[in-house]
Amino acid sequence: MKLRFLAPVLVFAVLVPLLIFGLSRNPAELPSPYIGKPAPVFTLPDLEDPSRTVSSDDYAGRYALVNVWATWCTGCREEHGFLLTLAERGEVPIYGLNWRDDGAAARRWLAELGDPYVATGFDPDGRVGIDWGVYGAPETFLIGPDGTVLHRHVSPLTEAVWQRDFVPLIAQEGR
Amino acid sequence: MIPELGHFALTLALSLAVCQGILPLVGAHRGDAALMGVARPAATGQLVFVAIAFACLATAFLTDDFSVLYVARNSQLALPDIYKFSAIWGAHEGSLLLWTLILSIWTVAVARFSRELAEPFVARVLAVLGLLSCGFLLFMLLTSNPFERLFPAPSDGADLNPLLQDPGLAYHPPVLYTGYVGFAVAFAFAVAAMISGDLDKAWARWTRPWTTWAWVFLTVGIALGSWWAYYELGWGGWWAWDPVENASFMPWLVGTALIHSLAVTERRGLFKSWTLLLAIAAFSLSLLGTFFVRSGILVSVHAFATDPARGRFILMFLAVVIGSALGLYAWRAHTLDSPAGFRPLSRETFLLLNNVLLVIAAALVLLGTLAPLGVEWVTGEKISVGPPWFDVAFSLPMIPLMFLLGAGMHAAWRYQPAPGLGRLLKWPALVALVAGIAVPALFYGWAGSLVAVGGIAAFWIMAVSLVQPLRSWRRAPGTPGMSRAVAGMSIAHFGVGMFVLGVTVVSAFSVEQDLKLAPGESVEAAGYTFHLRGFQNVTGPNYRALEAEVEIRRDGRHVATVRPQERTYLVQQNPMTEAGIDPGWNRDLFIALGQPLGGDTWSVRVQYRPLIRFIWFGAVVMAIGGIVAASDRRYRLTAPARERQPVAAEKPA
């Protein structure tokens, strides 16, 4: 049996565990490699007004949430109500990262469902998403005053998750 | 009662599939004609029962039987009948049933048109198809029963996803699946050849038209999907390198390689083991695509409801089917290999390069699609790979392929003297250089060397595709004309040229603008004036819409009036944009309503997309070329007639 006839089945044999891994993992539980490290900087056009920009400097020195969303993502619709509540409570400013989306659809989404964001960066080809290691939407990053990533949550944000994973981090560092 | 009948029909189809999958294999091994004879009737019976199940589901949809869970989730009383029917394949369970139905149809077609092949061979082919069918029927019955009841039945359904309420969805999935599943036939032919240890030129001649037909359906299916995404998703893009799009594109790339490799196997008896591998790979990638879509392991805009149990089943099925086919390949393929060589400058060499480049392209697409998963597995880090990466990675093998294609089409088998080829290609090369640079520059302006490369490639491919037809047209009276195979090849490659031209011009010269408009106002964009006449409310069967009337003028002359809509579907309350498109052969004007900006003022997105129709029309021309080639007379001749037929007509220039 020559190697060149064996090679395809060997390649496939490597692929199968990868796919098993793909099925077995729960994306919500995996931490970001950036936790405890400085969050990647970015400058993006503002979704609402492309002549302005949104950048990571906007929230420097404060706690902030960076929420990755898109109109094609059903999870984003699910968490939107909670984001609005959170924005109303004013605990932490929320910055949006509109990821791999259509600008017009995204603006309509905010006009219809309400806008919880201080500002939303528009990232249609997902370049900033690549820097941040965004895997899918929705994802929410908690950024500390020193610009480090304190926590990352993948999948829709809820009150329970917020109280459990986010509030202690903000409290423990002392506002 | 009818849903239970459908469920029962599926169970019967499964038992027939088991018979079809096992008995003929045993029969072929033992030389038992009775057992081999089971294959054809079992295939027919299976089709009958799967069709009954499909009809039962259709009945449930058309009679609004919301006691069926699947119907309740994907239909609604006010849904137009055409969408009630196409809703059958609007979600997971039903599209699986459609997939199985199409597999049965292909199987019966093979059974019907294979009378000339050796009985043990047909028995093995049909058995392999039967085993595949077993897998899909089991999948449906164990994890995704479309006939599951819902109690108590709701008074109305949850409606079909508004994105899918469009004629595009009615056609796109069936055509695409027909292509996907069609590669199962080439796969079954390959497995049967490896089991029997018999692979001759006749094998390749029999496999070729089936593969070409599958490729034709896949080509049209992908083009329909792209077109549907263009006008329905409202962003005006035609390809986004989404995992699900990649899932359909990889089998297409490998299938294209397979068509070309089969040509070498048929004409020269070469590349046998390579052809087998491609036949296995094309179908394996179709299955892999299904896995990606249904398991939810990759992020995609095509969100099918995901369920880990389904993911596990498909993965097991995938491992068994692909693993055993590749295992068989590792064990048997060397016995089928052919040592005969060929000269460096010959059509064989060009087709080898074609295969290598297409497979590299498919491998790069697979790499980009799976990279996020692989990186996460190894390092725990999450990355995403987007269009910028794919655009570059995909062009690397494609640009040389486009230029080699022109020479390969006209190279002779076995040995092609260089001067002859040079003389033949001198004129097309000149035309390509001049037209490729001048045409985009004259019509749209100079836009850099990359656009020039695209333009030259496009005109080069179109020009070389005309060489054979022109020669045949000017041939001396009495000499034989072009065979359908050569005509099909010329047409399909011409389509490739049109496609390349469309892609080049659309990516370089599109204009997109977000504008602010109030009734009575006009704005200028891309040389056109857009005048918003006003708004009116429109009511559809299951939606309300605000419709704008926009008049487009150019140099004061009326061009078109389009009516983009902002729809709200009543059941799901989803907003949807229906773009207003003024199509033209040389450009599309695309207008979509954005958001209200207070009062009657709206943000409006205007796009000018030159030659975008060439992308889809090019794909259709490719498919037409495939149909013409597949209808070549040598596939239709009976064996005795073929022997009487002189081989001269088969030799292209």
Q: How much is the ipTM here?
A: 0.80
Which residues in chain A are contacts of B194 at CB distance < 8 A?
A: none
Tell me the residue type at B256: T
Residues ≥6 apart with Cβ < 8 Å to B289? B180, B244, B247, B248, B250, B251
Q: Per residue, what are the HEC states of B375-405?
A: HHHHHCCCCCCCHHHHHHHHHHHHHHHHHHH
Chain B residue closest to A24 (CA)?
A: B308
Identify from A10, A11, A14, A15 which residue to disrupt to test chain B contact, counting B C-beta atoms within 10 A and taking the largest count. A15
Number of H helices, E strands in chain A: 6, 7
Instruction: Give the pLDDT of residue B10.
Output: 97
Which residues in chain A are contacts of B301 at CB distance < 8 A?
A: 72
Instruction: Give the pLDDT of residue B638.
Output: 58
Q: Give Cα B187 to chain centroid, integer Å.
A: 17
Q: Is the dihedral of CA A140, A146, A148, A151 positive or negative?
A: negative
Q: Is the dihedral of CA B166, B172, B174, B177 positive or negative?
A: negative
- CB-based contact A102 B330, cutoff 8 Å: no
Taking the CA of residue A111 and the nearest CA in chain B, the distance in Å comes to 7
Pairing of strands A119-123, A94-99: parallel
Chain A residue closest to B576 (CA)?
A: A105
- How far does chain B reach from its first CA to its final CA, in angstroms? 63
Instruction: Output DSSP code: residue B320.
Output: H
pLDDT tens profile A54-100:
988 888 888 999 999 988 776 788 788 899 999 998 889 999 999 88
Rounded CA separation A56/A36 (Å): 16
Determine contact: A3 vs chain B, CB below 8 A.
no
Identify from A2, A20, A23, A113 which residue to disrupt to test chain B contact, counting B C-beta atoms within 10 A and taking the largest count. A23
Which residues in chain B are contacts of A109 at CB distance < 8 A?
A: 575
* Whether the Cβ atoms of residue B126 and residue B107 lie closer than 8 Å to each other: yes
Alpha carbon separation from B597 to A103, B42, B518, B593, B605 (Å, rounded): 15, 64, 9, 11, 13
Tell me the residue type at A103: G
Which residues in chain B are contacts of A136 at CB distance < 8 A?
A: 299
- Count of beta carbons in the 10 Å neighbourhood of residue B59: 15
Please indicate whether residue B105 or residue A23 has the higher confidence score (pLDDT): B105
Chain A residue closest to B592 (CA)?
A: A104
> Which phi and psi (to 5°) does residue B200 adopt?
-120, -175
Nearest CA among A121, A99, A113, A125 for reference residue A48: A121
Chain A residue closest to B288 (CA)?
A: A19
For residue B580, the cross-strand partners are: B591
- CB-based contact B312 A23, cutoff 8 Å: yes
> Which phi and psi (to 5°) does residue A53 adopt?
-125, 160
* Whether the Cβ atoms of residue B291 and residue B310 lie closer than 8 Å to each other: no
Determine contact: A80 vs chain B, CB below 8 A.
no
Q: Which residues of chain B have pLDDT under 70?
A: 234-236, 294-308, 337-341, 382, 572-574, 637-653
Instruction: Give the pLDDT of residue A128.
Output: 84
Which residues in chain A are contacts of B334 at CB distance < 8 A?
A: 1-2, 5
Chain B residue closest to A33 (CA)?
A: B381
Determine contact: A172 vs chain B, CB below 8 A.
no
Instruction: Output DSSP code: residue B571.
Output: T
Which residues in chain A are contacts of B321 at CB distance < 8 A?
A: none
Chain B residue closest to A71 (CA)?
A: B301
* Whether the Cβ atoms of residue B619 and residue B499 lie closer than 8 Å to each other: yes
Determine contact: A14 vs chain B, CB below 8 A.
no
Rounded CA separation B185/B207 (Å): 8
Instruction: Give the pLDDT of residue A174.
Output: 47
Q: What DSSP string describes B329-375?
A: HHHHGGGG-------SSSHHHHHHHHHHHHHHHHHHHHHHHHHHHHH
Percent with pLDDT over 70 in chain A:
89
Could you give the 3-state DSSP secondary structure of residue A130? helix
Which residues in chain B are contacts of A106 at CB distance < 8 A?
A: none
Q: Which CATH number fits domain A31-173: 3.40.30.10, 3.30.413.10, 1.10.3720.10, 3.30.43.10?
A: 3.40.30.10
Identify from A2, A6, A19 which residue to disrupt to test chain B contact, counting B C-beta atoms within 10 A and taking the largest count. A19
Determine contact: A112 vs chain B, CB below 8 A.
yes
For residue B590, the cross-strand partners are: B581, B607
Which residues in chain A are contacts of B291 at CB distance < 8 A?
A: 19
Where along chain A do its domains lie? 31-173
Determine contact: A21 vs chain B, CB below 8 A.
yes
* Whether the Cβ atoms of residue B382 and residue A30 lie closer than 8 Å to each other: yes
Q: Which of B291, B381, B387 sits opposite A133 (nearest CB)?
A: B381
- CB-based contact A21 B373, cutoff 8 Å: yes
Instruction: Give the pLDDT of residue B328.
Output: 93
* Polymer length in residues for chain A: 175
- CB-based contact A22 B372, cutoff 8 Å: no
Tell me the residue type at B63: T
Instruction: Give the pLDDT of residue B52.
Output: 97
Instruction: Output DSSP code: residue B650.
Output: G
Q: Give Cα B149 to chain centroid, integer Å.
A: 34
Instruction: Give the pLDDT of residue A70.
Output: 87
Rounded CA separation B385/B241 (Å): 9
* Class of residue A53 by CB neighbours under 10 A (exposed 0-12, middle 13-18, buried 19+): middle
pLDDT tens profile B461-487:
999 999 989 888 888 777 777 889 999
Chain B residue closest to A8 (CA)?
A: B326
Identify from A37, A108, A139 which residue to disrupt to test chain B contact, counting B C-beta atoms within 10 A and taking the largest count. A108
Chain A residue closest to B281 (CA)?
A: A8
The tokens 């939407």 sit on which residue? Answer: A137
Rounded CA separation B230/B588 (Å): 11
- The C-alpha angle B502, B504, B506, rounded to 5 degrees, equals 65
Strand intervals (E) in chain A? 43-45, 53-55, 64-69, 94-99, 119-123, 139-143, 149-154
* Whether the Cβ atoms of residue B25 and residue B47 lie closer than 8 Å to each other: no
Given phi > 0 = left and psi -120 to 50 = alpha, else beta, which region is A133? left
Tell me the residue type at B56: C
Taking the CA of residue B297 and the nearest CA in chain A, the distance in Å comes to 6
Q: Where are the alpha helices (DSSP H) in B269-307?
A: 272-295
* Whether the Cβ atoms of residue B549 and residue B87 lie closer than 8 Å to each other: no
* Whether the Cβ atoms of residue B227 and residue B156 lie closer than 8 Å to each other: no
Q: What's chain A's average pLDDT? A: 83
Nearest CA among B124, B114, B62, B121 for reference residue B88: B62
Q: How confident is the model at residue A23 (pLDDT cuts 50, 70, 90)?
A: confident
Q: Per residue, what are the HEC states of A57-95?
A: HHHCCCCEEEEEECCCCHHHHHHHHHHHHHHHHCCCCEE
Determine contact: A32 vs chain B, CB below 8 A.
yes
For residue A98, the cross-strand partners are: A69, A122
- Neighbour order of strands in the sheet with A139-143: A119-123, A94-99, A64-69, A139-143, A149-154
